[in-house]
Structure 1
Amino acid sequence: MSDPARTTPATAVRPPALRPGDTVMLVSPSGPTRPERVARGVELLTGWGLRPVLAPNAYARQGYLAGADELRAADLNAAFADPEVRGVICTRGGYGAQRIVDAIDMAAVRRDPKVVAGFSDITALQFALWRGARLAGVHGPGAAWLDERTPLRSAESLHAALMTTEPVAVSAVAEEETFAVRVPGRATGPLLGGNLCLVVASLGTPDMPDLTGAILLVEDVQEPPYKVDRMLTQLRRAGALDGLAGVAVGQFTDCADGWSVGVADVLSERLGDLGVPVLGGLPIGHGPGQLTVPVGTEATLDTETGTLTVTPAVR
């Protein structure tokens, strides 16, 4: 039997776009959250005509986890199995998704593909769904992130990724700390990745995708330059970047405070000699004004125009 993670990227499964009236389940696969953090997200989703429903354990708490592993996994599997639920929106990241991905009912995911949105620790969930069901996903703010950190443009970006079938285009922004990270060129391939910590944490697991011919998306938050260096070095030494088509560099938020070396310097040095196009300055990640992008679908990275254009995750 072939390894699903190494099958042709063009076979990505794109679930139906959300439509007004659709039910979306708000789940917490990782860290805990509170009702007041989710309130604006519920308001926004309702304003789009959607019906947000909280999973039974969405507000559960067990230390740094949103409840016990079996409860978080049960919420996910219930959402995937329920024909009335048309989308799954994670409340937040944090930590914990890797603890439950092996319990996901991939047969249910394949039987009735649904759009799954989230970022940060949810990168682990997106990788697992890519491996087990070739499911394209949405890398964007969770329901608990739709607050003062998410201005109108960010909310509109998530809306477009969930509810329209237009390609998603993101332009590099000069004000982003990673804007100077650039290796000229143009690349095409499936966009895979997300949070750098979770990409590295996936090494050696069944969920680490084969990045041959892919555009790798990386972003992170509160990781000092030496840790960013260490993670990129580990990816290089593991051979994970061999055959890469390009690198899309998102926001590296609060990563260089008090350090004499900037995170952009580290990214340029560790990515600059891979022999592939690299585009930094993309407002994708944990920073203000973050934009949403599909993951798992075909993308084009063009350093001349400073754009990353991605095929929609939904159809």
Structure 2
Amino acid sequence: MKKIKSRALRPGHTLGLAMPASPVKKEALDKAIAVIENLGFHTQLARRFEKNNPHFLAGDISSRVGELHQLFVDPEVDGILCLRGGYGTPGLLPHLDYSLIAKHPKLLIGYSDITALHIALQQNSKMITLHGPMAATDLLEAPPFTVEHFLQSLRAESWPQRLVNPEHYPMKTLVHGMATGILTGGNLSVLVGLMGTPFEIDTRGKVLFLEDVGEEPYRVDRALTQLALAGKLDEAAGFILGTCKDCTSTAYPQGENVLAVCERILAPYGKPTIYNVQAGHGDFQLTLPLGAGTRVDATNKHIDILESVVI
């Protein structure tokens, strides 16, 4: 499969700001624009901002799809940075023109609900995308580690590279061994929501990354069990477990925590597995190139991106 790679992004380039899921408030948008411009980028919106949007979606499907199409084809826009996640991205997937997007490749950056876009663009447009911090949420108060790795990830000279957690947050081994494959995955709940659709994740021979937020351990169990029953865990080459923020149990405080659930369900597959990787809904965030060739050396706790992510 020939991958489509996008142009590297550097200060002076223009980032199109997208809202494929939930809306942002005007105050957050203004702050996001200021932060991005302080990093040296220009910003651009593709549609009129709804100042007092009372809904849980940032517009109807046609306006959100049109926004993405316009940002991809606009020659003045160099990359696309999502303002936030929330809810609503999966509803766009049947309406996107994947051939059009593939003809105008640009880095798309985001995570959480944006996982749906990552999977669809990887599998339908053969693109590499970035699982990384978003403009109106994470980047507003991101620690230097998150910002620096985000900027490094946009630049061609940062790849290939070894992913390294911030100091005092060591990666840990759940299952020893080494595996190589295309990096895929994202938010566990979103991935499970795509099962049984034309956009369900393809894990065959791939390194599967998983993270989540605000889920009880029993819900993580349910989601992993669904992936297991669908054969997605057996087909994967290895696993990377990111952060699971606010996933301690209130319903069963004396029961298993999320790590114990992951160990019970994933370890029997015997596939190389690293956990405590600082990517996802945590205070620190690595930016991950979904769609890129990746090697997981769980024994030595190393994750290596094996190819250039951008051109």
Distance 2:198 2:163 in 1: 30
Q: Which moved more, 1:75-84 or 1:302-311?
A: 302-311
8 Å contact 2:183–2:207 — kept in the other structure? yes
Distance 1:210 1:286 in 2: 23
Deviations 1:124-183 (A, max 9, x none): 01111112211110000111123454111101111111123422432357966x966610
Residues 116 and 229 (structure 1), Cα distance of their counterparts in 2 relative to 1, 3 Å cut: same
Distance 2:266 2:54 in 1: 38
Match 2:164 to one of 146, 158, 171: 171
1:117 paired with 2:109, answer yes
8 Å contact 2:173–2:301 — kept in the other structure? no
Which amino acid in 1 is paired with 2:62? Answer: E
Which amino acid in 2 is paired with 1:314? Answer: V
Which amino acid in 2 is paired with 1:51? Answer: H
Q: Which moved more, 1:139-148 or 1:190-199?
A: 139-148
State the secondary structure of the residue aligned to 1:128.
Answer: helix
Report what 2:40 is aligned to.
49
What are the residue-to-residue correspondences of 1:1-315 with 2, within 5 Å? Answer: 8=1, 11-57=2-48, 59=50, 61=53, 63-147=55-139, 149-165=141-157, 166-171=159-164, 182-258=174-250, 259-260=253-254, 261-310=256-305, 311-315=307-311
How far 1:43 sits from its partner (Å)?
A: 2.8
Percent identity, please. 34
Unpaired stretches in structure 2, ≥5 consecutive residues:
none
State the secondary structure of the residue aligned to 1:157.
Answer: helix
How far 1:243 sits from its partner (Å)?
A: 2.4
8 Å contact 1:153–1:289 — kept in the other structure? yes
Q: Which moved more, 1:276-285 or 1:149-158?
A: 149-158
Distance 1:219 1:312 in 2: 24
How far 1:312 sits from its partner (Å)?
A: 4.3
Residues 149 and 252 (structure 1), Cα distance of their counterparts in 2 relative to 1, 3 Å cut: farther
Distance 1:107 1:45 in 2: 29
Runs of 4+ in 1 over 4 A off after TM superposition: 57-60, 172-176, 178-181
8 Å contact 1:174–1:281 — kept in the other structure? no
Residues 189 and 59 (structure 1), Cα distance of their counterparts in 2 relative to 1, 3 Å cut: farther
Distance 2:78 2:203 in 1: 29
8 Å contact 2:142–2:283 — kept in the other structure? yes
State the secondary structure of the residue aligned to 2:234.
Answer: coil
8 Å contact 1:38–1:146 — kept in the other structure? no
Which amino acid in 2 is paired with 1:98? Answer: P
Residues 235 and 53 (structure 1), Cα distance of their counterparts in 2 relative to 1, 3 Å cut: same
Distance 2:57 2:31 in 1: 22
Distance 2:21 2:302 in 1: 31
Distance 1:62 1:78 in 2: 24
Distance 1:305 1:121 in 2: 31
Q: CA RMSD in A?
A: 2.0
Which amino acid in 2 is paired with 1:90? Answer: C
Which amino acid in 1 is paired with 2:198? Answer: P
Q: Which moved more, 1:206-215 or 1:302-311?
A: 302-311
8 Å contact 1:118–1:138 — kept in the other structure? yes
Report what 1:5 is aligned to.
none
Paired residue total: 305
Which amino acid in 2 is paired with 1:167? Answer: P
